[in-house]
Amino acid sequence: MTDSPLLQGSIVALLTPMTPDEKIDFPAFERLVDLHVNAGTSAIVVASTTGEGPTLSIKEHVRLYRAAVLCSEGRIPVIAGVGSPSTQVACELAKEAANEQVDAILCLTPYYNRPNPAGLQRHFVAVAEATDTPVILYDVPQRTGVTLGESLIVELAAHPNIIGLKDATGDLRRAERLLHAVDVGFQIVSGDDSTAFALMAAGGAGVISVAANVAPSAVRAMCDALRRGDTRDAARIDDSLRPLYAFLVADTNPLPAKWLAHRIGWVNATLRLPLVIPPELARRLSANDALVACAALLGR
Active site residues: 138, 166
Whether 51 and 14 have beta carbons less than 8 Å apart is answered as yes
At 115, give phi and psi (nearest 5°).
Answer: -65, 155
Burial class (CB in 10 A: 0-12, 13-18, 19+), 138: buried
Whole-angstrom Cα distance, residue 28 to residue 120? Answer: 36
Whole-angstrom Cα distance, residue 278 to residue 206? Answer: 34
Cα 241 to Cα 152, 190, 207, 247, 284, distances in angstroms? 33, 16, 14, 10, 19
The count of other CB atoms within 10 Å of the CB of residue 77 is: 22
The count of other CB atoms within 10 Å of the CB of residue 153 is: 24
Q: Encode burial over 251-290: b for 16+ CB neighbours within 10 A, e otherwise.
A: bebbbbbbbbbbbeebbebbbbeebebeeebeeebeebeb
Beta bridge partners of 107: 137
Whole-angstrom Cα distance, residue 36 to residue 38? Answer: 5
